[in-house]
């Protein structure tokens, strides 16, 4: 995983317009407003994390259930507990879910309000498209 480090990739193509076509002003304007490679990397890391069917289902399960332990979540989604644990580790290291220990159970939930909105919004998008 690791937050996509392409060292200074956002500065590479100041001379990339050696190609044909291109409105130089428009490109210069767009380039000045372009997000940094580092930020783009973190954004794509986040999306890629959400872009796996297993993790997606786990997240929507957590979204509706509020909080579930690993074994309940694995039973809900229908995957082995190992897989659930592994997926949750990835999601947690990205700050998408949070864990809370209670005895020997560990309960997971969506960590961030933005992520909840993101999940809701995405579902809306598919409905209307």
Q: Which residues contact 79 (CB under 8 A, 6 or more apart)?
A: 54
Verify binding: residue 94, DNA, rule CB under 7 A: no
Task: Compose the 89-108 pattern: x for residues touching a copy of itself by CB under 8 A, - for all others.
Answer: ------x---------x---
The helix or strand, by DSSP H or E, that contains position 59, with its residue range, turns out to be helix 53-65
Report which DSSP code applies to 109: E
Kindly tell me which of 89 and 114 has the beta carbon lying closer to a copy of itself: 114
Q: Residue 120: CB partners within 8 Å, gap ≥ 6?
A: 63
Q: Is 60 in the site for a copy of itself (CB under 8 A)?
A: yes
50 vs 63: CA distance, rounded Å: 13
Residues present in the chain in total: 129
Of residues 30 through 89, those in contact with DNA by CB under 7 A are 48-49, 52-54, 69-71, 79-83, 85-89
- Enumerate residues 12-31 that contact a copy of itself by CB under 8 A: 12-13, 16-17, 19-23, 26-27, 29-31
Verify binding: residue 82, a copy of itself, rule CB under 8 A.
Answer: no
């Amino acid at each position: 995983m690791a937050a996509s480090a392409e060292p200074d990739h956002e500065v590479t193509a100041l001379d990339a317009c050696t190609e044909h076509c291109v409105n130089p002003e428009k490109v210069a304007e767009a380039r000045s407003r372009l997000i940094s490679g580092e930020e783009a990397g973190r954004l794509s890391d986040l999306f890629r994390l959400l872009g796996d069917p297993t993790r997606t289902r786990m997240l929507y399960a957590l979204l509706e259930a509020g909080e579930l332990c690993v074994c309940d979540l694995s039973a809900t989604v229908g995957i082995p507990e190992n897989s659930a644990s592994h997926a949750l580790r990835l999601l947690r290291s990205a700050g998408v879910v949070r864990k809370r220990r209670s005895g020997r159970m560990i309960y997971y939930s969506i960590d961030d309000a933005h992520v909840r909105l993101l999940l809701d919004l995405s579902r809306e998008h598919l409905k209307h498209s």
